[in-house]
Structure 1
């Protein structure tokens, strides 16, 4: 469909249902000078259906034939002929409105406003036969022909084509000023330029071209701005993807023996979900960038998965070894649970417990189950031993009463006044203590500690008595006393000589030595009196 056909369809859809006729663009400024048939354009879809009028031009005047004045014309006159239209499709027939019962007369052509006609008259004119001319850069150019209507209607028809172009320019200016997406804006400008270049309209074409030139510059700026924004978004998206890959590589690079697998696996899954969301709804980074990042990300995930599989495989092997070792300990513990050899079995259970602590741990679930079985075997043994001890404690209850009486008797010996009598009484208490027998286990420590306190007191009194009556101690004390007394006598003589000589230094030294020996003598005399 040509541009003129698009404009004609717009005209045909106007509310006023403008009368559609054939517009024939002339090639010269005057129809009389046209030497070839004029090109015929289709002003509207129903142009060929318009009824012929009596004022329509004659079919044509051949060159050399006489005209109404009896003279031959030197050139052929332009003959308006309707352009052939393609056969309408069934859909076009269906889209047409149904005819009303009473057919209305064809609507008159749209008459433009006086202001619009005045503006159009600045840029074009109409001849009597309907030919319309455009004044452009001081020269007239044929636009087309609209026969059978008034000059104003013919001029208004071609002016409205220009107004359609201006309306599209205004719409494009609004899109640019509102910073709408610049997609296809340059294509729209090119299309409008092509329509203006056809010259089948009346208006200020140079002004429209100037506005398009201004739009081109603004569209270029808008495209640059959009590109800058797109580059910024792309850079941010690239940084986000790079951060995802870097974190995945960091997780994959950890020591498999120290990594927290549950936390790390969850984080790796989160990174993968973030990658999928970014790839689905984020900005495209270019095939090379996306492929390079994906290869790194996939490699990190592969390494992490390989380490995880190896770790858990080794962990399963260790768990199997630990379970086997602890199963053996459990078997021994269960075999000892029925033993009545309380001392031996208790020692074996302590050994088994030490081996259990030294054994490697299995998985938490398995280890808890194994420990429950091991503990249950111990509980069976110690429950039986506790029951046996309770029976024994009931038998030893009478013995406890006897020993508590003996302990009260032993406490009457304190403090020790007569060592010989205290030793004799304590020996009697000991003999009866052994005859009384065992006491309940819960009271054994208390009873034994009470008697031990009395025994320690008697032993301490005996040691003190020995120190006082030891002959060797007495001899050593007497020898020291004799030596000190001799030394004191010599120092007194030295002091007397120094005082006689008036030597103050010797007097001071002799006096200090004399005072020290006298202090020692007093201490030894007190010790000797205590031994006596």
Structure 2
């Protein structure tokens, strides 16, 4: 016969386990020595220990439901009570009892949390209703309308309350939206009437502008067109489908007059075109400075070109943006080169970049070590969470390293 502190094997090969209630038959062993029998049933006990430890960890570290946890506990309890293992089964039963208490405590906590969430949802819906009722009187039609639509989306994301409370809140919420919609509809009906009045007024202004277009009284007619433009602006907007056509006719009438006037001023235009040709030559010369190589030489050359540019008179209005834009582009390139040179030679900025990079590297190393330790300890969930955080910090570190390279280090 062979035995250990928790079990024994009799001469007939029957295996027993010792419990607080006395010995219980574990099974029969005929395939080897009594020591092998005890070792076999001890391994089964160790397996139960592992399963209980895993369940304890799941209950502690995951969102395992109380129902699932209770089922798992009952399953393990059946195995312990079946006594097909050699070891301290009473200790396992006590651990399962303690785990049952933990699960029940979590169940109560979840009930309390659910009640709290319900109260929070109620308060949230009260706030939505109050805001909707306030918006119902707003005249910010677009902003208020968009906000009311956003409130509907927020409402849909909230959990339902008891039917009576939920219906009461929804009735007030819906009534506020309907009131706003009715007011907005009335407003735009009035706006349509105003736009129709604006259309009629602008039809008359177009007729006046078209009647003036053959005039050759440059000063008085130009002044009259300015007056018509002021009246046009004061008339308000017509309907969208009419506004563009009316404006095109109004501008076309002015263009006829001002085109004729421009022909009279052709001599002045010739001078401006000559000025334009000279400025285009300077712009071409300035563009040859690109890309910037020797910043100091480029800066001096551009300064000289700019002085010659300022000495030239006006150019035609329609050509001014393009030719001036070419010079501004060269000037901006020089400024960007100056800024880049300043950044490269700024020791404080480089020191800050280096310090940030060092801090991020330390954080990455620390997270990697924590993740490796968690995985080595078998805490897969914690390891995965740390590795996700590690990926984010690594991305920041990569960006910081790129920025540091701009300083030549």
TM-score range, shorter chain: 0.3 to 0.5
Name which one, 1 or 2, has greater alpha-carbon Rg. 1
TM-score, length basis structure 1? 0.37
Q: Which has the higher helix share?
A: 2
TM-score, length basis structure 2? 0.46
